[in-house]
């Protein structure tokens, strides 16, 4: 049974975060007693801006339903959809129900649970640039506070393109909906206000700084939750427990024992109708800036003093600060960019990227990127981190693979046994979440024959419960006020500081050529050569 944690929201505005230890506010502990405490959110209203879009149907509606099904949302919890489309409450409820029945891990919706959920679903129609729409939204939310007892607690989810963020947050501010405590329009009402923003957060360092500045003009950093759904995945959260909770692994998590680290984020799909968006984005912006660098930071961080949100994010920031931006010469040597041409993936024919009707026929946008990075720190000096991501690859998989150094002596060489393969620890983020350890063992029988074997742990087989979807975890955390798994403003900007020189060099034509690879392959041969120069090879998940 879920345990409710009472939170007494402050009556005055929280101080703006300075990221300094003495400015840290007490945070819920997200990684205690097996990783997470089961907690129920406070009564609140979640306003989804852009509520009729694909994200709401595929991710948000199923996540909220499953959170309610698991007992993590109180009866007072209310959803307000805010969008331009003219719908009534019943039509919006039907939209959410369709998403739950199609995409939820618990489907179809149970009638009794859905009926309870539906009572707290409402719709507000309006244009995002219309001040009157926000005035009416404020009245709508005040009425919900009175009728449903949501106590003035509001979570705004901006499920819209980032270009609309400034307009929406400024309109919220003008309508008195952005502040909390005694700065609210009604003055006497207590409660909190938070905002969730989706990626991509900017397209380069300058645009990210501009977005951060525009958000900071309206919200405190403590109110802003930048979502990266990879950080909500069970295996990523388990990284901290795996490392810091097991005396077997923490002592060897450093340059003395680890030879190299590979982070792979592979997709089998091509652009599939998203060519217009993707051609202006590319693999580096779409995946590496957020997902891959965040996975690297979670993997490589030092243990925080305590598992409070700011301690955790401070340690991640130290990792990113240790990654030195590349010169143009470094980009040509340590990066590979590719673009897929026609081929076969999982038995399906995939046309060339440039043949997509919304992609320029001479497009130079990368659908594959591979990088060699280093972290200048005492723990990781000299250990290469290889990152790769791509579309139209053979397998859909996200994993962190750790290759350990070889044993110091080829002890079995005189017995005719060849060099034993290095030990590998593979942390699978998706699909089939789990952890695999590869090591050498003697084959039963006479003589000495050594074979590589796997010790394989999978969440689905080891625990009698389904792992929650990443959005379930992250939405609940935002309602509780735990930003541990969300990205801080300085993390976002530092990631762009690392990647901007790569993008600039590629754009200028002095960062290496664009390579082509057949759909269904593991990328261009140049990506293999990137590791072969170091005497290493990519792992084939």
Would you say 245 and 312 are in contact if contact means Cβ atoms under 8 Å apart?
A: no
State the burial class of residue 467 (Cβ atoms within 10 Å of its Cβ: 0-12, 13-18, 19+): middle
Would you say 384 and 373 are in contact if contact means Cβ atoms under 8 Å apart?
A: yes
The rounded Cα 473 to chain-centroid distance in angstroms is 12
Phi-psi region of 346 (alpha: psi -120 to 50; beta: other; left: phi over 0): left
Rounded-to-integer distance, Cα 401 and Cα 451, Å: 20
Q: Are strands 424-430 and 434-442 parallel, antiparallel or unpaired?
A: antiparallel
Rounded-to-integer distance, Cα 392 and Cα 364, Å: 17
Tokens of 96: 């959410």
Would you say 366 and 506 are in contact if contact means Cβ atoms under 8 Å apart?
A: yes
291 is known as an active-site residue: yes
Closest CA to 166 of 158, 176, 175, 155: 158
Rounded-to-integer distance, Cα 370 and Cα 526, Å: 9
Would you say 386 and 370 are in contact if contact means Cβ atoms under 8 Å apart?
A: yes
Is the peptide bond between 260 and the residue preceding it cis, with omega within 30 degrees of 0? no
Tokens of 397: 């998989």
Rounded-to-integer distance, Cα 92 and Cα 98, Å: 10
Catalytic residue selected from 291, 308, 507, 515: 291
Rounded-to-integer distance, Cα 431 and Cα 474, Å: 19
Angstrom CA distances, 370 to 178, 275, 495, stand at 41, 21, 16
Catalytic positions, please?
291
């Amino acid at each position: 049974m879920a345990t409710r944690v009472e939170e007494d929201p402050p009556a005055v505005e929280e101080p703006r975060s300075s990221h300094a230890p003495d400015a840290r506010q007490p945070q819920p502990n997200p990684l205690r007693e097996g990783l997470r405490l089961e907690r129920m959110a406070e009564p609140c209203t979640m306003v989804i801006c852009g509520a009729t879009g694909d994200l709401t149907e595929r991710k948000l509606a199923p996540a909220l339903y499953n959170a309610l099904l698991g007992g993590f949302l109180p009866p007072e919890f209310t959803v307000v959809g805010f969008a331009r489309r003219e719908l009534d409450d019943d039509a919006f409820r039907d939209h959410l129900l369709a998403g739950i029945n199609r995409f939820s891990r618990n489907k179809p919706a149970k009638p009794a649970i859905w009926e309870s959920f539906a009572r707290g679903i409402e719709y507000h129609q309006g244009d995002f640039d219309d001040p009157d729409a926000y005035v009416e939204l404020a009245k709508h939310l005040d009425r919900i506070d009175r009728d449903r007892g949501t106590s003035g607690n509001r979570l705004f989810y901006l499920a819209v393109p980032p270009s609309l963020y400034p307009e929406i947050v400024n309109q919220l501010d003008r309508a008195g909906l952005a502040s909390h405590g005694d700065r609210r329009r009604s003055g006497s009402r207590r409660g909190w206000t938070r905002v969730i923003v989706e990626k991509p957060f900017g397209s380069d360092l300058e645009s990210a700084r501009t977005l951060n500045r525009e958000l900071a003009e309206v919200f405190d950093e403590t109110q802003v939750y930048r979502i990266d759904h990879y950080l909500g995945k069970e295996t990523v959260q388990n990284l901290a427990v795996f490392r810091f909770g097991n005396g077997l692994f923490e002592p060897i998590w450093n340059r003395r024992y680890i030879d190299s680290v590979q982070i792979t984020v592979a997709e089998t799909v091509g652009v599939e109708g998203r060519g217009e968006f993707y051609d202006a984005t590319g693999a580096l912006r779409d995946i590496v800036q957020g997902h891959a660098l965040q996975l690297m930071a979670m993997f490589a961080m030092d243990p925080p003093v305590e598992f409070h949100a700011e301690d955790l994010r401070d340690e991640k920031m130290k990792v990113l600060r240790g990654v030195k931006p590349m010169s143009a010469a470094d980009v040509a040597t340590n990066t590979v960019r590719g673009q897929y041409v026609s081929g076969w993936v999982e038995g399906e024919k995939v046309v060339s990227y440039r043949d997509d009707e919304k992609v320029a026929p001479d497009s130079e946008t990368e659908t594959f990127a591979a990088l060699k990075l280093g972290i200048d720190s005492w723990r990781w000096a000299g250990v290469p981190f290889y990152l790769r991501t791509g579309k139209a690859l053979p397998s859909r998989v996200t994993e962190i693979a750790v290759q350990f150094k070889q044993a110091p002596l080829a002890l079995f060489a005189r017995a005719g046994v060849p060099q034993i393969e290095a030990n590998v620890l593979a942390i699978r983020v998706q699909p089939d979440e789990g952890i695999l350890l590869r090591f050498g063992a003697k084959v039963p029988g006479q003589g000495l024959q050594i074979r590589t074997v796997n010790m394989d742990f999978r969440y689905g087989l080891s625990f009698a419960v389904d792992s929650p979807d990443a959005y379930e975890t992250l939405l609940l955390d935002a309602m509780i006020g735990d930003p541990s798994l969300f990205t801080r403003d300085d993390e976002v900007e530092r990631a762009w500081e690392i990647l901007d020189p790569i993008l600039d060099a590629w754009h200028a034509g002095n960062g290496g050529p664009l390579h082509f690879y057949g759909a269904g392959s593991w990328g261009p041969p140049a990506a293999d050569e990137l590791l072969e120069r170091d005497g290493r090879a990519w792992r084939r998940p």
